[in-house]
Structure 1
Amino acid sequence: MYMKIKRLMDIILSFIGLIILSPILLILVTAIKLDSKGPVLFKQKRVGINKAHFNILKFRTMRIDTPNDTPTHLLTNPEQYITKMGKFLRKTSLDEIPQILNIFVGQMSVIGPRPALWNQYDLIAERDKYGANDVSPGLTGWAQINGRDELAIEIKAKLDGEYVKKIGLWMDIKCFIGTIVSVVKGDGVVEGGTGALSKAVSKMKSKEMENKYGDPK
């Protein structure tokens, strides 16, 4: 029953979001066009519910000569591909706003495991262990407010599994509020990607997660 209610809330929230955020969307579109050559939106094949593929929408944050279907953390010196506007969009997570359309049409949910790239086989396999591929992926989720890019794949999958196990209104509220806090603080964003921890503070966070969820090694 909750999953039906969750879908209804997704439709309502995404519709309201599109209306309220339309002025911001217009400003961002203009800024992206002025900053670099290329399309405003970036489409990328991702893994949805039951491992069905769909095209996720994002504001383009990288140059048009960036290798396709390659996670940022697998690029050599990813900073060289990120545009000036892209750095701001990634830091504030505003590049994710177009996914409101993915939510509205039913390909995603507001809250859920972040959709893996179609070729992130290691992450997909780990999520299979916890049933995390059997729910709609989300704009944000439990793993995102507990480490985001800082987490090793094994720990991220465990957190996604914990979300699936505890899925419900209260869990979604905690993820929603936690996301707002994380975005304001800029937590967990590491250019260089999944499992790449930055400086001493990031290492301390990783150690705390390992103590709670086990050493990924």
Structure 2
Amino acid sequence: MSKKDPSGPFNREALTRLDDAASDASQPVKLNPTASQVAHQYRRDTISPVMVSGLMRMTEFGLVLVSGLAIFVIYVGLGTHLAYVYPLVILAGALLYVLLIEMSDGYQITALRHPAHHLGRLLITWISVFAILALAGFLLKTSEEYSRFWFVTWLGTGLALLIALRFIIARKIRGWARNGTMERRAVIVGGGKNAEELIRSLEQQPDNDIRICGIFDDRDNSRSPPIVAGYPKLGNISELIEFARIAHIDMLIVSLPITAEARVLSMLKKLWVLPVDIRLSAHTNHLRFRPRAYSYIGAVPMLDIFDKPINDWDYVAKRAFDIAFSLFGIIVFSPIMLLTALAIRLESKGPVIFKQQRHGFNNEIIKVWKFRSMYIEQCDPTAKKAVTKDDPRVTRVGRFIRKTSIDELPQFFNSLVGTLSLVGPRPHAIAALSHNVLYNEVVDGYFARHKVKPGVTGWAQINGWRGEIDNAEKIKMRTEFDLYYIENWSLWFDLKILFLTPIRLLNTDNAY
């Protein structure tokens, strides 16, 4: 679910109000041979244009900064009385360049792909930076104190380095576009004439980074042709769920008229569990909204229905957050973990660490590490039988570490290697049951919890929804809190949950 739900009928409340008689889209579906072959050829991860633009900003900032500092150290030297001022001026110049080139759209993929067409923009921006620095020095009456040779040399050297970098990156981008490294993988949902017009429009866009991987439609071949604009129909909407997870699809483009509200909502009810951008094509609609209501692929208008949560630089920030706090947690809690491992070995035979298969991001199966709290011969890797109060399978040490959540401490290592995040929906065992019913059969849209990486702790846990799930209401409430977290994610939200966790763990009523 997107953090920024658009207005109108396309939100989660509308989807839950719709009674769909079709089977739950989260159920595993076997792909036909053609769809399976296509899906597996796309399994390699890609670089998004947003990431490329962001890395280019950082690289050019570093290049301007380092070139200015290098010329200062070589020619002026650190012995000058302005040794602390020069670096500040160089830093200001680097920041000013990135700001001005950003304002002139110099980091758009089109500009990066064709640097020769935008050299004038770069030259004007670079000269403007030095003009502003010179004007500032004149107004502050300090310009005579700075080395003119350093100033002119930095201007010439920096310009040459920036131009060279732009041409090198342009060559790399064109190579990435050819081999599929930099692309957005899209699936067209819905066939027929609408889909054909959409595909033709997308193919006509210059520098298009969209790769259409196929078409999915619930209608049979008599109502929806098996091939549209040269692309095969690979299956129905239920099969699309599995296809999108295997192929790491980035975007679903729904090619249905907005007036077909019931059919659109029926499809979205199945598709919103996926961690992808979902767009409704608006290129053939006669109903027009304000320009800001649309996003665009080239000149093709789209209505944003759902956005992939925690994407691009948000993902980088969250991963850095996980690594930093995981290392901190491992260092701080290492004495407790060593003592716990020793206590487990002294009380009962068997390994100290218990590994359990659980559902991770995008419904993939991951192994979660915990301290073993049961007798080795009674461990339950499938979690078909939940641990209950005074469960005879749990050791004495196990009761204590489960009560205090010490058994979860090895998951700092899960977070460090990337199978878990520190904060997110808690991963459930793949065979976990509520009254002999799988969780995804209890809660409609349960697998939407897996649109982000699961966490060691989460919003549901600090709000009291931890421990045994002995009725349907508990799993429903846990899912509701998890979805709220996904829709409202921010680093500050993660930090709040992380620091509230030890306080809320003092309440051990549901932990056994």
**Which residue does 2:458 correspond to in 1?**
141
Amino acid paired to 2:361 = I
Q: Which residue of 1 aligns with 2:494?
A: 172
Give the equivalent residue in structure 2 for 1:61: 373
Taking structure 1 as reference, are residues 57 and 21 closer, same or farther at Cα in structure 2, changes over 3 Å only?
same
- TM-score by length of structure 1 reads 0.79
1-structure distance, mates of 2:502, 2:320: 22
Contact 1:50/1:134 (8 A) holds in 2? yes
CA contact 2:424–2:453 (8 Å) conserved in 1: yes
Contact 2:356 2:382 survives alignment (8 Å) = no
Which structure has more RCO (C-alpha within 8 Å, separation ≥ 6)? 1
Range with bigger deviation, 175-184 or 99-108: 175-184
Please report the RMSD computed on the Cα atoms of aligned residues, expressed in angstroms. Answer: 2.3
Q: Secondary structure at the match of 1:38?
A: coil
For structure 1, the residue ranges without an aligned partner over 5 or more in a row are 192-217
Cα separation, 1, equivalents of 2:318 and 2:361 = 14
Q: Tell me the distance in 2 between the aligned counterparts of 1:76 and 1:173.
A: 31
Q: Identify which range, 68-77 or 178-187, moves more after superposition.
A: 68-77
Q: Within 5 Å, give how 1:191-206 maps onto structure 2.
A: 191=512
State the partner residue of 1:161.
Answer: 483
Instruction: Report % sequence identity.
Output: 38
| Equivalence for 2:510 | 188
**2:371–2:408 Cα contact (<8 Å) kept:** yes
Answering whether residue 338 of structure 2 is matched by residue 26 of structure 1, we say: yes
Tell whether 2:405 aligns with 1:93: yes
Distance of 1:187 and 1:169 partners within structure 2: 29
Tell me, in whole angstroms, the C-alpha distance in 2 between the residues paired with 1:66 and 1:58.
Answer: 15
Runs of 4+ in structure 1 off by over 4 angstroms are 75-78
Q: CA deviation at 1:38?
A: 1.2
C-alpha displacement at 1:36, in angstroms?
1.3
Q: Which amino acid counterpart does residue 489 of structure 2 have in structure 1? A: I
Scaled by the length of structure 2, the TM-score of the pair is 0.35
Instruction: Find the aligned partners of 1:77 and 1:146 in 2 and give their Cα distance.
Output: 21
Distance across 2 between alignment mates of 1:86 and 1:129: 30
What is the alpha-carbon distance in structure 1 between the residues aligned to residue 327 and residue 355 of structure 2?
Answer: 21
Q: CA deviation at 1:42?
A: 0.3
Q: Structure 1 residues 74 and 21, CA, compared in 2 at 3 Å: closer, same or farther?
A: closer
* Aligned pair partner of 1:119 in 421, 431, 435: 431
User: d(CA) in 1 for partners of 2:421 and 2:346?
Assistant: 31
Structure index of larger Rg: 2
Structure 2 residue aligned with 1:205 = none
TM-aligned CA deviation for residue 77 of structure 1: 7.3
Amino acid aligned to 2:349: K
After superposing the two structures, state which structure 1 stretch, 14-23 or 164-173, moved more.
14-23
* Inter-CA distance 8–18: structure 2 relative to 1 (3 Å threshold): same
Give 1:71 shift: 2.9
**Structure 2 gap ranges (5+):** 1-312
1:71 to 361, 364, 383: 383
User: For 2:321, what is the secondary structure of its paired residue?
Assistant: helix
1:15 to 327, 332, 335: 327
Q: What CA distance in whole angstroms lies between the structure 2 residues aligned with 1:71 and 1:51?
A: 17
Q: How far apart in 2 are the matches of 1:15 and 1:90?
A: 22
The letter for the 2-side match of 1:23 is P
Q: How big is the shift at 1:129?
A: 4.9
- Give the 3 Å change call, closer, same or farther, for CA 132–61 of structure 1 in structure 2: same
Do the aligned residues in 2 keep the contact of 1:130 with 1:161 (CA within 8 Å)?
A: no
- Partner of 1:106 in structure 2? 418
**Aligned counterpart, 1:194:** none
CA shift for structure 1 position 173: 2.4
Give the number of aligned pairs. Answer: 190
Residue 124 of structure 1 and its aligned partner are, at CA, apart by 4.2
Q: Which amino acid aligns with 1:133?
A: H
Instruction: Assess, with a 3 A threshold, how the Cα gap between structure 1 residues 75 and 150 changes in structure 2: closer, same or farther.
Output: closer
Please give the alpha-carbon distance, in whole angstroms, between the structure 2 residues aligned to 1:167 and 1:86: 33
Kept in 2, the 8 Å contact 1:127–1:158? The answer is no
Tell me, what secondary structure is at the counterpart of 2:400? Answer: helix
Q: 2:486 corresponds to which letter in structure 1?
A: V
Counterpart Cα distance in 2 of 1:82 and 1:139: 21
Shift of 1:172: 1.3
